[in-house]
């Protein structure tokens, strides 16, 4: 599901070297090697050998690119942020094959979810008041993740409601305020370890799945915000004794998702680039 940038990164870095060696595509590479050797040894048909080598390498490249793309698709997801958009438009994106959508108002999601297919994986990405947790979980059985847990109170509340409703454990991310802006929700970076620990150890009905941040006010995060979230992950994983691959980073939106992916995001939240600009009802 990732864009090409990610595939490119995978080629450079994230594939496990052992695995890369084991699963290497033998035929074209071997063909290239044989051809190259033939050429080196001066077996007469040098030109033909080098054509074969080039063809072999090109075929091997195609195979590597396709495998890298598949590996990249497994390693990250795009949350299509559909807030303010009508169900008809969301349905169109669903019909194009997408299954993961994000909303940030409880009432709006409760209204829309029942009108759309059940195999959608909804992510709740907005600020959640504890008195709305029950309505959210009861109204959206296919809620896959709450990305915006920012204090113990809401964590405890979600934990309790999941148990009451007999739902399967709910995946949550801890939202971190990496920009320091007062207007932003999220726990201060200095408090992320404690909150993550509370979710992991104190909330048996929640699955601690990683960290989320929203960048600067203009919605174009600076690399510092992304770096700060990655640092939080380091601390959290060390303290909880979990590998970093088990701790997602939700960062990057329309303006900066490619940069976020380059900096380790596993979950980008893209709204306006998919659905067009949002129109909010005029307040008066
Ligand atoms: C609206 C929203 C987005 C999507 O923003 P775009 O700039 O339209 O891609 C992402 N994350 C959160 C938390 C949002 O509220």
Per-residue tens of pLDDT for the chain, all 284 residues: 454 333 333 333 333 434 444 444 445 545 445 444 544 555 557 888 888 888 888 888 898 888 877 766 666 899 999 999 999 999 999 999 999 999 999 999 999 999 999 999 999 999 999 999 999 999 999 999 999 999 999 999 999 999 999 999 999 999 999 988 877 789 999 999 999 999 999 999 999 999 999 976 555 567 889 999 999 999 999 999 999 999 999 999 998 898 898 889 999 999 999 999 988 766 54
Residue 260 covered by a domain = yes
> Same domain for 122 and 253?
yes
- What's the rounded Cα separation, in Å, for the pair 30 and 124? 49
Number of Cβ within a 10 Å radius of residue 2: 24
Q: Are strands 143-149 and 170-175 parallel, antiparallel or unpaired?
A: parallel
Q: Tell me whether residue 280 is in a domain.
A: no
How many Å apart are CA 41 and CA 60, to the nearest integer?
23
DSSP 3-state of 13: helix
Q: Let me know: does 154 contact 137? Beta carbons within 8 Å.
A: no
81 and 55 share one domain? no
Q: Which two tokens stand for residue 248?
A: 């997602």
35 and 156: one domain?
Answer: no
- Domain assignment of residue 284, yes or no: no
Domain boundary among 33, 52, 74: 74
Identify whether residues 53 and 88 lie together within a single domain.
Answer: no
Distance in angstroms (rounded) separating the CA atoms of residues 28 and 39? 17
Predicted confidence at residue 279, as pLDDT, reads: 84
Separation CA 1–CA 171 (nearest Å): 20
d(Cα 189, Cα 195) in Å, to the nearest integer? 10
pTM for the model = 0.78
Domain extent for 194: 77-275
Q: What is the domain-level CATH number for residue 120?
A: 3.20.20.10
The count of domains in the chain is 2
Q: Ligand 1 centre and the CA of 271: distance in Å?
A: 5
Q: Does 105 map to a domain?
A: yes
User: 85 and 58 in one domain?
Assistant: no
On whether both 257 and 150 belong to a single domain, the answer is yes
**Whole-angstrom distance, CA of residue 214 vs CA of residue 203:** 24
Q: Are residues 157 and 252 in the same domain?
A: yes
Establish if 9 belongs to a structural domain: yes
Please check whether residues 92 and 65 belong to one and the same domain.
no
Domain contains 195: yes
Say how many Å lie between the CA of residue 61 and the centre of ligand 1: 36
- In this prediction, residue 281 carries a pLDDT of 67
Q: Are the CB atoms for 206 and 162 separated by under 8 Å?
A: yes
To test the ligand 1 pocket, which listed residue (269, 276, 279, 280) has its Cβ within 8 A of the most ligand atoms? Answer: 269
Asked whether residue 122 falls in the same domain as residue 240, the answer is yes
CA–CA gap between residue 211 and residue 206 (Å, rounded): 14
Q: What is the pLDDT of residue 270?
A: 95
- Both 128 and 21 in one domain: the answer is no
Of 44, 74, 104, the one marking the end of a domain is 74
Co-location of 126 and 225 in the same domain: yes
Between CA 227 and CA 178 the distance in angstroms is 9
Evaluate whether residue 282 is within a structural domain.
no
45 and 163 in a single domain? The answer is: no
Classify residue 234: in a domain, yes or no.
yes
With a 6 Å cutoff on the Cβ, whether 56 touches ligand 1 is no
Domain boundary pick from 24, 57, 74: 74
Rounded to whole angstroms, the Cα distance separating 10 from 12 reads 5
CA of 226 to the centre of ligand 1 (A): 15
What is the best residue among 219, 261, 275 to mutate for testing ligand 1's pocket, by most ligand atoms within 8 Å of CB? 219
């Amino acid at each position: 599901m990732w864009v090409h940038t990610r595939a490119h990164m995978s080629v450079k870095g994230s594939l496990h070297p052992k695995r890369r060696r084991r699963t290497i595509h033998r035929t074209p590479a071997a063909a290239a090697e044989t051809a190259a050797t033939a050429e080196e040894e001066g077996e007469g048909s040098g030109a033909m050998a080098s054509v074969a080598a080039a063809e072999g390498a090109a075929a091997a490249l195609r195979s590597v690119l396709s495998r890298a793309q598949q590996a990249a698709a497994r390693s990250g997801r795009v949350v299509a942020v559909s807030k303010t958009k009508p169900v008809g438009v969301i349905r169109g994106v669903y019909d194009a094959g997408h299954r993961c959508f994000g909303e940030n108002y409880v009432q709006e999601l409760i209204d829309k979810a029942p009108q759309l297919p059940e195999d959608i994986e909804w992510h709740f990405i907005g600020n959640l008041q504890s008195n709305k947790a029950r309505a959210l979980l009861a109204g959206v059985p296919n809620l896959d993740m709450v990305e915006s847990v920012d204090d113990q109170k809401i964590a405890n509340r979600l934990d309790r409601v999941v148990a009451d409703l007999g739902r399967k454990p709910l995946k949550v991310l801890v939202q971190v305020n990496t920009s320091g802006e007062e207007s932003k929700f999220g726990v201060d970076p200095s408090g992320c370890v404690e909150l993550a620990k509370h979710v992991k150890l104190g909330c048996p009905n929640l699955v601690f799945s990683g960290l989320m941040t929203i960048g600067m006010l203009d919605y174009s995060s600076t690399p510092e915000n992304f770096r700060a979230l990655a640092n939080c992950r380091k601390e959290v994983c060390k303290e909880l004794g979990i590998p970093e691959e088990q701790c997602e980073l939700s960062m990057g939106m329309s303006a900066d998702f490619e940069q976020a992916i380059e900096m380790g995001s596993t979950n980008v939240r893209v709204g306006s680039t998919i659905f067009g600009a949002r129109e909010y009802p005029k307040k008066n």
